[in-house]
Amino acid sequence: MREEYRGLDLVRRDWAKLSSNLGKEIVNWLLYSDDVEKAKTDILARLKQVNEEIKADIIPKKLYCITKKLMKNPKEYKDDISHVQCAKKMLKSNLIVKVGDFIQYIICEGEGDVCNRAWPFQLVEQKKLRIDREWYCRVQLLPPILRLVESIKEFKNYEIGNCFEIEIKKSLFEKKESNYMFSEVYFQRNKNLEKGKMFMKLKLKCKYCLKWLDFTGIIHTHEFKAGFKCLTRNCPGFVNLLRDQTDIVFYKNQLTRRFRSLVSKYYKHCSYKTYQDQIVTLFKSKYRKVIDLGYYSGEKIKESFSSAQLNFYLEQLIYLFDIKKVDQQMMYKQLNLNNSKERVKKVEEIYLDEKLKSTWLEELHYHCRHLKNSST
């Protein structure tokens, strides 16, 4: 009888072969062992063995490969996605890539986002790149293993983490009212970020150097530095302390335009100029269900994406400036990276150290919430 696995992480191609093979071993131990304690001992011993093999660099590079299908021409993708970046790198190296191909890539050491550190399997050896083994342990091995054993009381999350020399706080992985705590969501979020489906990009134009810059949040979570400032050399922006109130209005206007573009995207062919004589503003709740008024006779406004998507994107913008949530995120992340509690700084302290004001963020957060409440 042939074994068949369904509904598990190990059957998906976006998990490395190393992860899926280890998952199958654990499933077999759990299913075919009469003694749970013995199965637990064997599994923990195997995890430690895998960790030693990873450190000793004796695992074939092929097992680190993640596979994704290229659904369209790489130039047609708007988001930065790992396998798309790899396809572009392959084209630059004169390798044949076409729509429908399965791209195999490996995450390597280096700076920048995960998608920028993804390299085609063919080029890893050629360029002598080093595999980011810590990333594989944290993102590719730990989460699926923890999900496999989460319902077996004999298994403790911190014991599994210790096998990979990664400290896992017990409370960070406990279930709470059917929802996972932040640390487990963090692993899942990394996977979705790589797909480019979790967060959309927000660009802000600096008032002083007039450059459009990617804004990923009020804190750079990798370096724990202030995010609401211009990175251009010798630029006093985003905000000049001497003219902070007028500067903040400049960014409020940008956020307002972003909100309006999202709301108008909810309706096909919808623009404020077209409807200014018929609808004072789409941000008034009494007009939110008007879907049949058009500039031309008989034209209708149709959904271009769902209301759930619209709400998700609006909440996303609010979240970017939410100091309390970012404080919580940084606390969990620093603990997860084995940093001591004494090193955990709050947003207000980080901005004070860099001679910036956290009150600017509060103003922008309130402005975003006001826009969201006015649009629904």
Rounded-to-integer distance, Cα 211 and Cα 193, Å: 25
Q: Could you give the number of structural domains in the chain? A: 3
Domain range for residue 118? 61-126
Q: Which positions ≥6 away from 331 have C-beta within 8 Å?
A: 344
Specify the range with the lowest mean pLDDT, choosing from 84-98, 166-180, 245-259, 331-345: 166-180
Largest CA distance in the chain: 76
**For residue 282, which amino acid is it?**
L
Specify the range with the lowest mean pLDDT, choosing from 59-63, 117-121, 139-143, 199-203: 199-203
Regarding beta strands 225-226 and 219-220, do their DSSP bridges make them parallel or antiparallel, or are they unpaired? antiparallel
Q: Are residues 47 and 122 in the same domain?
A: no
Q: Are residues 118 and 15 in the same domain?
A: no
| Cis, peptide link before residue 199, omega less than 30° from 0 | no
Residue where a domain stops, chosen among 79, 104, 126: 126
pLDDT tens digit string along 216-238? 888 876 677 888 889 888 888 88
Residue 299 is assigned to a structural domain of this protein: no
Q: Are residues 47 and 71 in the same domain?
A: no
**What's the pTM?**
0.47
Q: Are residues 341 and 248 in the same domain?
A: yes
Q: Are residues 208 and 335 in the same domain?
A: yes
Tell me the pLDDT band of 53, cut-offs 50, 70 and 90: very high
Q: What is the mean pLDDT of residues 331-354?
A: 69
Tell me the pLDDT band of 51, cut-offs 50, 70 and 90: very high
Alpha helices (runs of H) in the chain, residue ranges in sequence order = 17-32, 36-55, 82-92, 121-126, 133-135, 142-149, 157-163, 182-195, 244-265, 272-275, 307-320, 323-336, 347-353, 359-375
pLDDT tens digit string along 75-115? 888 777 889 989 999 999 989 888 989 999 999 998 888 88
Residue where a domain stops, chosen among 180, 195, 210: 195
Residue where a domain stops, chosen among 174, 195, 216: 195
Q: What is the mean pLDDT of residues 302-329?
A: 76
Flag whether pLDDT at 277 surpasses 50. no
Q: Are residues 254 and 323 in the same domain?
A: yes
Residue 31 is assigned to a structural domain of this protein: yes
Rounded-to-integer distance, Cα 159 and Cα 156, Å: 5
Q: Are residues 247 and 220 in the same domain?
A: yes
